[in-house]
Amino acid sequence: MVTADLWDVAAEVTDPEMPMLTLADLGVLRAVERDGGRIVATITPTYAGCPALDAMAADLRSTLGAYGEVEVKVTLTPPWTTDLISDEGRRKLAEAGVAPPAHIGPRSTGPVPLALAAPPKRVTCPRCGSAETEELSRFGPTACTALRRCRACAEPFEHMKDI
Amino acid sequence: MNHTEENVYDALAEADHEGRWAYGAGFDETVVEVTAPAPEGVDRDDLAAYCLMLGDDALVASQRLSEWATNAPELEEEVALANIALDLLGQARMLLSRAGHLGAAERFRTDATAAALSDEDVLAYFRDDRFFRNVTLTEADLGDFGRTMAWILVFSSWRLALMTELRGSADPVLAAVAAKAVPELAYQREYAAGWVVRLGDGTAYSHERMQAGLDDVWPFVPELFLPHPVETRLVEAGVAVDPAALKASVDGDLAQVLPVATLTEPTRPAVGLVGGRGGRDGVHTEALGRVLAVMQSLARAHPGATW
């Protein structure tokens, strides 16, 4: 199997905690290469402590294992941000009831100011589309989500934190 | 091979040929950056010691925060504290792996440690307290929820300022770890600042408890800004950040939060130094021994155990 096809195979592996997203949608699959007889897949963690990384690596080894010996490498650079989630990934998140992150754009290289009086984040409800939502918890069931509630339809939902 | 047809337990066994570690990382993928050699002209032992310092700060802080599991006042806060602990554990793992790659784990590898243990596990589980290089703030008792929030506010403000500068380090691993850490720490600082304001500017009772928590954390703050000789040498090499230079940033954050929270800057004197030596030299408070006993006892009783 040629390298380009191997990428397609690896790209279909799903995230263990966000199974509606493939590793490619999430933007964590960096490269799939042939190194002699071996297949080397390179991924990057979302959060430094993301426990799903181990499961992603195991799933990649299992899926690509049909085509040869697999090595999974992890790279930290450039660091992952939610800006790397594809448009397709954002659509799938919203469909699954998870509000996608906002685009952050280029990151400042200077100090990060502490904004105590920052205006509340505007997040649209993935179910009814209302912008009238509020934060329930800054941290959610996975490292990458926060919990919110819609004031219009009263449904709670997860929001993928912009980071 | 169709993955979906496999028994889920087969998949687990397949992923880890020798079963899963009963503790520790259970993670053997190569982090590409960790294996880079020390930058030219940079002393390998100094770099290893510096990685241990920053790694131990995160590891011990993470272990302390995980004490809140099943004890937090609300489920949301429990999840928050566990997430913060997890972020810090991630930083610790990269930094301890880097220290291990530079040779820091070898002296702690004995017959009692399983030969297959990763460097990060050897450093986390088979080092005694006098070899830990964390600042004593990270080992301090977290006390009640208010004190924990003061502790996270101080720690994350300080570590955020440090990591912000460290993104420009001449060591590619430190620069990469720092780049990942910055947004995570900024999020943690915002979380803690929110609670410090809410409790400080809350009821008379919550104000009193919040002020007491801040007072308890205060004696550990001056040590954060004391440069260790290793740091001083690595600052010259363009690798490390001078801790003294972080004070303005931390002061700035606190000057923003404390008035809004109606809290007063404490006046308690510094603790933690013995003959000018502190956590960075392996001179710790009594608390670290207890933290490590909880963290290390299983690994030491059953080295290399799997389940």
Whether the pLDDT of residue B124 is over 90: the answer is yes
Q: Is the pLDDT of residue B49 over 90?
A: yes
Q: How far apart are the first and last CA of chain A?
A: 36
**Can you spell out the DSSP letters for A39-63?**
EEEEE--SSTT-THHHHHHHHHHHH
Q: Does B167 sit within 8 Å of A74, measured CB to CB?
A: no
Cα atoms in the Cβ-side hemisphere of radius 13 Å centred on B279: 31
Round to whole Å and give the CA distance between B263 and A8.
56
Q: Do B31 and A76 touch (CB under 8 A)?
A: yes
Select the residue of B83, B191, B193 nearest A143 (Cβ to Cβ).
B83
Within 8 A of A149 by CB-CB distance, chain B residues are none
The fraction of chain B above a pLDDT of 70, given in percent, is: 89
- B151 in Cβ contact with B81 (< 8 Å): no
For residue B232, the model assigns a pLDDT of 97
User: What's the pLDDT at A75?
Assistant: 93
Q: Which residue of A has its CA nearest to B182?
A: A112
CB within 8 Å of B223: residues ≥ 6 apart: B135, B136, B137, B270, B272, B273, B278, B279
Contact list, B256 vs chain A (CB under 8 Å): 114, 116
**Contacts with A137 (C-beta within 8 Å, 6 or more apart), sequence order:** A146, A147, B76, B79, B80
pLDDT computed for residue B251 by the predictor = 97
Contact A163 B187 (CB under 8 A): yes
Q: What is the mean pLDDT of residues B207-235?
A: 97
User: How close, in Å, is residue A91 to chain B by CA atoms?
Assistant: 24
Is A60 an 8 Å CB contact of chain B?
no
* Cα dihedral B292, B293, B294, B295 in deg (nearest 10): 40
Give the pLDDT of residue B28: 60
* Structural domains of chain A ordered from first start: 3-74 (3.30.300.130), 120-163 (no CATH)
Which strand (E) or helix (H) includes residue B286? none
Distance from CA of A98 to the nearest CA of B (A): 18
Q: How many CB pairs under 8 A join A and B?
A: 130
- pLDDT of B42 higher than 70: yes
Question: What sections of chain B are H helices per DSSP?
Answer: 8-15, 44-65, 75-101, 119-125, 145-166, 172-200, 204-217, 229-236, 247-260, 287-301
CB contact under 8 A, B180 and A76: yes
Q: Cα distance from A95 to chain B (closest Cα, Å)?
A: 24
- Please give the sequence-ordered ranges of beta strands (E in DSSP) within chain A, or none if there are none: 29-35, 38-43, 70-74, 98-99, 133-137, 145-150, 156-160
Query: What are A8-47's pLDDT values in tens digits?
Result: 999 999 998 889 999 999 999 999 999 888 999 999 998 8
Q: Which of A139, A147, A158, A159 to mutate to test the interface with B (most CBs of B within 10 A)?
A: A139
Q: Chain A: nearest CA to B276, how far in angstroms?
A: 31
CATH number of B23-301: 1.20.1260.10
Phi/psi at B298 (5° precision): -65, -45
Asked whether residue B12 carries a pLDDT value surpassing 60, the answer given is no
A79 touches chain B (CB under 8 A): yes
CB of A158 within 8 Å of any CB in chain B?
no
| ipTM for the complex shown | 0.87
Q: Which residue has the higher pLDDT, B180 or B29?
A: B180
The sign one gets for the Cα dihedral B182, B183, B184, B188 is positive
Q: Which residues of chain A have pLDDT under 70?
A: none
Q: Which of B29, B182, B253 lies closest to A74 in CB terms?
A: B29
Tokens 């300080």 sit on residue: B158
Q: What is the DSSP letter of A31?
A: E
- Asked if the model's pLDDT at residue B11 lies above 70, the reply is no
List the single residue in B15, B180, B183 with the smallest CB-CB distance to A58: B15
The pLDDT tens digits of the residues spanning B139-167 come to 999 999 999 999 999 999 999 999 999 99
Q: What pLDDT does A108 receive?
A: 79
Q: Which of A48, A62, A75 sits opposite B90 (nearest CB)?
A: A48
Residue B136 contacts by C-beta under 8 Å, 6 or more apart in sequence?
B220, B223, B271, B272, B278, B279, B284, B285, B288
Nearest to B65 by CA among B121, B123, B9, B141: B141
Encoding tokens for residue B53? 């310092």
Q: Which of B83, B89, B257 to mutate to test the interface with A (most CBs of A within 10 A)?
A: B83
Would you list the domain boundaries of chain B?
23-301
pLDDT band at residue B13 under the 50/70/90 scheme: very low
Alpha-carbon dihedral A150, A151, A152, A158, rounded to 10 degrees: 0
d(CA A38, CA A48) in angstroms, rounded, equals 27
User: Between chains, do B176 and A138 touch, taking CB under 8 Å as contact?
Assistant: no
pLDDT band at B19 (very low <50, low <70, confident <90, very high): low
Of the candidates B79, B93, B189, the beta carbon closest to that of A139 is on B79
Q: How far is B262 from chain A (nearest CA, A)?
A: 14
Measured distance CA(A118)–CA(A95) in Å, rounded = 29
What is the distance between the alpha carbons of residues A53 and A111, in angstroms, rounded to a whole number?
A: 29
Q: Which residues of B touch A74 (CB under 8 A)?
A: 29-32
Residue of A nearest to B173 (CA): A76
pLDDT of the residue at A161? 87
Give B289's strand partners.
none
Give contacts of A 2-41 with B, CB under 8 A: none
Residue of B nearest to A136 (CA): B76
pLDDT in tens, B173-186: 999 999 999 999 99
Chain A residues near residue B90 by CB distance under 8 angstroms: 45, 47-50
When pLDDT is cut at 50, 70 and 90, the band that residue B307 belongs to is low
Q: What is the mean pLDDT of chain B?
A: 90
Q: Which of A2-6, A29-33, B79-83, B202-206 has the lowest mean pLDDT?
A: A2-6
| Strand-strand pairing, B30-31 and A133-137 | unpaired
The most confident of the ranges A143-152, B11-20, B35-44, B286-295 is B286-295
Asked if A130 reaches chain B (Cβ–Cβ under 8 Å), the answer is no
